[in-house]
Amino acid sequence: MTKIAPAQLTRFPHRHLLSCEGLTAPDISFLLDLADKAADRNRKVDKKRNILAGRTVINLFFEASTRTQASFELAGKRLGADVMNMLVASSSVQKGETLIDTAVTLNAMRPDIIVVRHHAAGAVELLSQKVDCSVVNAGDGAHQHPTQALLDALTIRRAKGRLAGLTVAICGDILHSRVARSNIALLNAMSARVRVIAPSTLLPSNPDRLGAEVYTDMWKGLADADVVMMLRLQHERMDGAYVPSSREYFHFFGLDHEKLARAKPDALIMHPGPMNRGVEIASTVADHSRSVIRDQVEMGVAVRMAVLEALSPNLPQA
Amino acid sequence: MSRTVSLPPNEKQKPSRTPQVFLNARLIDPESGRDEPGGLFVQDGLIADIGPHLRRNAPEGAAVIDCQGHVLCPGLIDAQVFTGEPGQEHRETLKTASRAAAAGGVTTMVVMPDTSPVIDQVALVDFIQRRARDNAIVHVHTMAAMTRGLEGEEMTEIGLLKRAGAIAFTNGKSSIANTRVMRNVLNYAKDFDALIVHHCEDPYLSATASMNSGEVATRLGLAGVPTVAETIVVERDVRLVEKTGSRYHASTITCGQSLEVIRAAKARGLKVSCGVSINHLTLNENDVTGYRTFFKVRPPLRHEDDRRAMVEGIASGDIDIIVSSHDPQDADVKRRPFQEAADGAAGLETLLPVALRLFHSGDVGLVQLLKAMTVNPAKLLGLHSGRLKKGAIADIILVDLNEPWVVNKDLLRSRSKNSPFDEARLQGRVLRTLVAGETVYQYAGNAASLSAV
């Protein structure tokens, strides 16, 4: 049997980054390779390059997110772009009404890249259809959060040296999680094995069709896992609506040392943040030597630099 | 079920001056099963004569129309049409809806009470009738709300509303959650032999949902409503009907399990029937992929297996009627993120050509298909029309079953252009529509070939 070398891309073949679905293994490797270099450079004193000099990046957040916005802002600035942050108040129910108007208005200001976070699934894709620039999805409802999956993949790859063949257990609120959907798609593309672990009330319908093995028993789901990825459970979902209490949730689905012992001895512990210590993850586990939660934050900046860098050659040059 | 109601004012149209004869037609009367070559004679707004003997021979002094072998059948009766009149005329008026209807071969449309204000009082039924009489070019009947403001709590004046001309009673797009209210409405409506038409969808299970629950919703990250939300309500209603003996119609069912419940209820002899929208017969949840809001309807598009079950229900006759569920929505409320976009699809003008897909695919026979849009709704609603027979009102359409065309939403007559069939390739279209003997629509593309002999 002849081994075919994986295709090496010289250019990222997409105008936008909206979803992990549809990204191929070469696409993902291309971004991770770029991010790897960015991560190394970010540890030096001079972090700045001028790849995006003269370009304008707008961070358009319809939903507040300090960490993701800061990460994108740093990424843009380290590549030399002018970065503008916009937090659009989104308390009113009518917020969707102005989405296309907002897009058209911003487009008239001639940005080169717009980074968008929105509470409604599909909103970023809709916005991308109305503008001339590149659009990066920084999270849309329960749909996708591609840069999170990329930074998770980079963190795993740097720690384990590979993605293919690893068993990754994603545990928590799968139903409402864009992080889970993005990670499942990306890890499948990279030939990792994905498990999801959650109570049935926090699983979407037909979860197996996403390309993951489904467990409702965390002890079984963690068996021999290489990576344990915990998800945040929002407080309002612990009051009896989806799970009876945070106490019961922690007992059955919180990551403590006892459950962690089911995973491989060198299993990585991950969390996209912000963490609810004592709800989905025990404090001592979060600060465990195998925890790479802080690395994830560091890789976040690198991955976002890689994404902006990868999209820039596809921007109009004239 | 075949009780008739008196004609509202708008049905009393001026009779046509000149008698007309349609020669060389393929006559289809879904009531009798007639499907044969022949001709039809129209005089004073009525079908004066019909049969093979009129295939070539025109009566003296009549205007002659050569049908060139095309289908001549009763005009369609669409039992579920939403408009924006009164209150949201920018979406649709009775006038614009009636033009779309005429172009789609719909000669009678039943408008729903989901307007602003809600049609829950006698004066508003009267308003619809007067506006329709003055502006609509097809027959218009209105359903009235069965609870005040469609709020599902207090019963409306069902007796007086019926006397004023309300053809049936419904809670429009919303389901009645309170079982006690539903029982009382059914019980009370029975005394007036009023038909109760119910949108079946458990409001708690569907509260946050914007599409069908399943793999597509999971992928898109959208909250879904399972089919069981519908079946639970159909089953509950049927159990209540069993106690009250009322006339009950489930407005648009969408899944095989609901159909099983209806089928079993019919077998027990209950006065129960059901309808399905053209959308649920020809589209499925996969069409929503890409967050295409023109495919966001309520109840939502279902899995392909359920669509197949609905088609089989039409073929077997277990589903009584097909409705367009015409629900015009303007671009502003459709061009939004999917979960925030309005429900609804325009469908009056494309109802028949889209339904013909089921005939061309071999899934449903032509007579059976037409039955669900003519005589069946007529019987359900107590209308005289929907039949092609001597003495019946001349609500007639001439249909080319085969003409291929591509839908362009901007050419549709409805004021709102939210058609899920935009750019769809269809086969078959309406050539001419007559309401009480008057031609209210004629297909321009074929005008030459339809000229008098």
Tokens describing residue A316: 């109009």
CB contacts < 8 A, A to B, total 73
Q: Give the tokens for residue A51.
A: 């790849």
Contacts of B204 in chain A (CB under 8 A): none
What are A103-121's pLDDT values in tens digits?
898 999 999 999 999 999 9
Query: Chain A, 186-225: which have a CB under 8 Å from a chain B CB?
Result: 204-207, 209-210
What is the arithmetic mean of pLDDT over A13-20? 96
Convert the pLDDT of each residue in B233-292 to its tens digit: 999 999 999 999 999 999 999 999 999 999 999 999 999 999 999 999 999 999 999 999
pLDDT at site A238: 76
Residues A101, A71: contact at Cβ < 8 Å?
Answer: no
pTM: predicted TM-score of the whole model, two decimal places: 0.91
Min Cα–Cα distance to chain B from A92, Å: 12
Amino acid identity for residue A230 in this structure: M
The answer, for B4 touching chain A at a CB cutoff of 8 Å, is: no
Q: What is the pLDDT of residue A97?
A: 52
Chain A nearest-CA residue for B289: A122
- The confidence score (pLDDT) of residue B14 equals 53
pLDDT at residue number A264: 98
> Cβ B337–A120 below 8 Å, yes or no?
yes
Contact indicator for A196, A207 with CB cutoff of 8 Å: yes
The distance of Cα B166 from the centroid of its chain, to the nearest Å, equals: 16
Are residues A125 and B214, on separate chains, in Cβ contact within 8 Å? no
CA nearest to A18 within chain B: B290
CA distances, A91 to each of A88, A94, A300, B335, B416 (Å) = 9, 9, 28, 20, 30
Q: In Å, how far is B220's CA from the nearest CA of chain A? A: 5
Indicate whether A318 pLDDT > 90: no
User: Which conformational region is residue B15 in: left (phi greater than 0), alpha (psi within -120 to 50 degrees), or beta?
Assistant: beta
Alpha-carbon gap, residue A315 to A302, rounded angstroms: 20
pLDDT at residue A92 is higher than 50: no
Angle between helices B256-267 and B304-316 (to 10 degrees): 30
Identify which of A21, A141, A205 has the shortest CB distance to residue B213. Answer: A205
CA distances from B430 to B155, B328, B351 (A): 41, 21, 10
Query: What's the whole-number mean pLDDT along residues B370-391?
Result: 97
Give dist(CA A110, CA A100) in Å, integer: 16
A115 vs A100, which has greater pLDDT? A115
Residue, of A92 and A8, whose pLDDT is higher: A8
* Mean pLDDT to the nearest integer, B391-399: 97
Contacts of B268 (CB under 8 A, 6+ apart): B242
Pull the structure tokens for residue B321: 């009627």
Examine the pLDDT at B448 and tell me if it is beyond 50: no
pLDDT of residue B13 exceeding 70:
no
* Cα–Cα dist B217/A223, whole Å: 29
**CB A300 within 8 Å of CB A261:** no
Closest to B340 (Cβ–Cβ): which among A96, A142, A205?
A96
Dig out the tokens for B310 from the structure.
């609905």
C-alpha–C-alpha distance, residues B25 and B59, integer Å: 16
Confidence of residue B211 (pLDDT cuts 50, 70, 90): very high
Report the C-alpha gap between B193 and B182 in whole angstroms: 16
**Contact status of B339 with chain A (Cβ, < 8 Å):** yes
Which residues in chain B are contacts of A142 at CB distance < 8 A? 221-223
Higher pLDDT, B310 or A10: B310
Whole-angstrom distance, CA of residue B129 vs CA of residue B6? 13
Asked if B228 has any chain A CB less than 8 Å from its own CB, the reply is no
Calculate Rg over the CA atoms of chain A: 19
For β-strands A227-230 and A167-171, DSSP reports them as parallel
A210 → closest Cβ in B218, B338, B339: B218
- Asked if the model's pLDDT at residue B447 lies above 50, the reply is no
Cα torsion A130, A133, A76, A13 to 10°: value is 110
Query: Is A122 within 8 Å of B220 when comparing Cβ atoms?
Result: yes
Q: Out of B52-61, B71-80, B105-114, B386-395, which region has the weakest mean confidence (pLDDT)? A: B52-61
String of DSSP letters for A140-167: ETTTB-HHHHHHHHHHHHHHHS--TT-E
CA dihedral for B126, B130, B136, B139, sign (positive or negative): positive
Q: Is the pLDDT of residue B449 over 60?
A: no
- For the cut 90, the answer to whether the pLDDT of residue A6 exceeds it is no
Between A141, A144, A206, which is nearest B218 by CB?
A: A206
Q: Do B221 and A206 touch (CB under 8 A)?
A: no
Cα–Cα–Cα angle for B19, B21, B23, rounded to 5 degrees: 175
Q: Assess whether pLDDT exceeds 70 at residue A310.
A: yes
pLDDT the model gives residue B452? 36
**Segment holding B399, helix H or strand E:** strand B396-406
Contact B221 A123 (CB under 8 A): no
Residue B4's pLDDT is what? Answer: 46
Rounded distance between C-alpha atoms, residue B445 and residue B453, angstroms: 18
Mean pLDDT, all residues of chain B? 94
Average pLDDT over residues A145-170: 98
| Cβ–Cβ gap A126/B218 under 8 Å | no
**What is residue B368's three-state secondary structure?**
helix
Q: CA B337, CA A207: separation in Å to the nearest integer?
A: 23
Report pLDDT for A91. 47
As a whole number, the mean pLDDT across chain A is: 93
| Distance to chain A for B339, nearest Cα, Å | 7
